Chain A
Amino acid sequence: MVFRRPSLALVAGALFLSPLAADAADYHHVHITSSDATEAVRWYSRHLDCQPLSDRDDSVDCQGVQVTFDSQPSLGSSQRTGIDRLSFSYADLTAKMGEIESVGVGGAGVRLQRFPDGSTLQDQPGLYKHGFIFDPWGTRIELVEDSDRIGFHSIHLSATDPAATLAWYEEHFGGEAAQLRGQIDGLRFGDIWLFALRHEDGVPAATTGRAIDHIAFELEDVDRDSVQLAQAGVSFTQQPAVPEGGRTGARRGFVAAPDNVSVAVVEAGFAGVARSMDDVVDITTQQRDYTVPRTPWGEPDFQGVWTGDAAHGIPMERPRDLTDTEVLTPEQAAARRERGTLGSIWGYESEWRDTTLGYVKSAPSQQVAMVIDPPDGRIPDFTPEAQARLANRVDTSGVRRLAAGPEDLSPWVRCITRTLIPTPQVYNNGMQIVQGPGYVAVQREMIHETRVIPTEPKPHVGESITSWLGDARGHWDGDTLVVEIKNLNGRVPFRGTTDALTLTERYTRTGPDTLQYQFTIDDPEAFTRPWTGMFTYVRDETQYELVEYACHEGNYGMPNILTGARAREQEEGR
């Protein structure tokens, strides 16, 4: 069979490999899942010298290979799947790696994968120098120095039986069996190599949904070739058809390749699938009728693992320029999230953030602001006493002031507690609810702290028993769990609140996978009137489980901050 132009599709985006040489079997593209195709096009252009395609907003040409990105949630890195990585070759790799390293983690989303000795580059005798990075969506990328081919260099499969895997591709998609520098068996498609490395740890994970979603080959005659493939025992996971949203009338199908790899077969002229952000549903703002299920003992059932990830990025207060906006558009919501993650000052590269676009089930929430009362979405004024108190407040960030000891740092840094309200952060937004008759336990992933809420009437503990999480008492208001929290110690920094705060939480299930969380701040020592905010949790037990966040036990930050402070003082001769 004759195939044209292999294409690799990456999940964060799709990588289309299209060597321009038109003879023999070719890749069509590599398909990458990037969660944000526009951002991915920018990233690959900036860091890997690919060229945006003039007629497409979701693809780049990497030295003759088309790489296509789609804006879908990614299920994680390509590493340990059947397509481990892509390689790019540079004439001066040391200079290239230096350039990438100098970009740092400051929002560019390049992650270096260092070798065990800490270096970023290593020589492979007889082969070439190489090093590894990840794109922001988890695509593993190898950078090599192979003067025989500059630019997009190779695709590395990870196979339980590499020889059999290569034979499979050769039989069904052609390519020319060859050895790279007498060392590595592979197939050549034009100038591009397809390698199969031995998968060392069990069976490779499925590529579908992961950062490199699939690679694509172009079939000369889809009808004829599909029949031949099927006759040769190749199993189609999707028969060739014009995909919904296809930019042309060209058909695309998928076959199951060895090692859980998904391979697309496309017809000449295939130009990807146009997706709009509207296809990604924000389930947090979709209201519908919903009957809350019951526990076996008859109480509303809120049990499960929920995450606030979809709500990350919603500001507490309504921005002044969005006074009349009811909800953001999906594009605005995505842009707001990307500003908060890709461009964040946080020292976490996007792959490590739970809330990187595409990592979570729900699209970013289109909610404009958390505050719903007062209706203008703005936090009420401080009382005059509170204003005076706050003017003298001490900075505990540890950044602008050298900490004399742990007490000078915030309870966040000290791993005592995190935020008073579980406002979503870049990581650890999970919440597990477990119920028994008359009790609801709400466990927050942050710190693993758990609030036990009795739902039968019980008086609060004595007022001298103050604590970080406070004393919670709940009741059911219809199908809403209402929790009144008193006896807070006033030491968790939150918008100027004090130990006079009564925090009221309202949990309401609004759909099978959505849970609305409302909080009311009533603190007469701080605000001139109570105020209420709201955001929505999403249930995602396919992807999300709370694992133990041993924050204090692993608090390397604390000794590092204090050691740094002492060193700085010594430098400054204090």
Chain B
Amino acid sequence: MLTLNRRAVVALGLAAALSSAAPVMAQSDYPNKPITLVVSYAAGGGTDAIARLFAARLEQALGGRVIVENRPGAAANIGTEVVAGAEPDGYTLLIGNQGPMVVNPHLFDLPADPAEALDPIAMIADAALVVVVGPKLPVPTLGELVDAAKAQQLVFGSAGNASASHLASVLFGQTAGIDIRHVPYQGAGPAVNDLVGGHIDFMVTTIPSVIGLVQDGTLTALAVTGSARFAQLPDVPTAQEAGVDGYTASAWYGLLGPKGLPEDVRQRLANATAEVLSDPAFTDKLANDGGVPSTLVGADFAAYMAQERARWGEVVAAAGISVE
């Protein structure tokens, strides 16, 4: 049933795009050539997957080609630089996420400050993380995890130095007042593997990386780090509910362009993004990936990023995370 629905939706979407492409394009000149959507990671990562799904649906909304270009390197700072240096005509855009947009400015001496050199168009999605424990520390609640950490220093795994899962864990330690030890891995996969194997105590990681193991009972989810519960894990409380006051953390993605986008182009892109985010065919896939569609646009998105930047700056400084 599910597959039939999906196929029907995709087919309908395609048909709609084909039939409506001509009149939409006649109203506005933009876009009259292919748009390059820069992804700051190599093909195959989580951000890349979201970007490709988004680009495919954005093409229909805009009535023009959107080509994903991977520009990985220098801790995702290359992508920022490429877009910051591009012509602000709406034909070079960036999928920006938490790391390069608000964390890296605290870690690197950047040639292009994302807050100065980029125009935020719209936030796409927000993905909460989840606190999970495995066979090494089989505690049933977040409170007991905190108690265990007070009795003996616990070891947590992350997807890498300064990754969302690393910073969210550090913030957890700071908020709960516990001292924890960080084991960096290359990506969430190997870290979850060692959590399942009982080699590390706990992780704060993206929901898709562990949801199957949580539903099966191999791992126990103690709390989600968003401000609300996650639909596919209805029994898992938020960190707030579980007693760690004021602890929220999430990974997010947004659409940005070079500073100085013409207002009509920015508006057109914001509207197209809103259209993509209101399509269940896209949001269903987003939800499968742990993401909740966002409604933040333009200045509101900029304000959110400024707030996030200040917040993670404190975490980075307090934890002494550094990169030179």
Are A and B associated in one complex? no
Which A residues have a C-beta under 8 Å from some C-beta of B? none
Which B residues have a C-beta under 8 Å from some C-beta of A? none
